[in-house]
Amino acid sequence: MKKKGQSLLEYSVVAALASMVLVTMSTYVFRSVQAAKQQISNQAQK
């Protein structure tokens, strides 16, 4: 039983870390998409 609980805890930690990485990366991806849109908009106005 202890081994099963430890395994479940390890999976939970890995899942939590993966979620944090995805949230952090989504912020940077969103910023880069916004920057690309702004750059295209600026070029279109010239």
The C-alpha R_g of the chain, in whole angstroms, comes to 20
The pLDDT score that the predictor gives to residue 30 is: 95
Predicted local confidence at residue 1, as pLDDT: 54
- pLDDT tens for each residue of 1-46: 567 777 889 999 999 999 999 999 999 999 999 999 999 999 888 7
Closest CA to 37 of 26, 29, 27, 23: 29
- What is residue 27's predicted lDDT score, i.e. its pLDDT? 92
pTM over 0.85? The answer is no
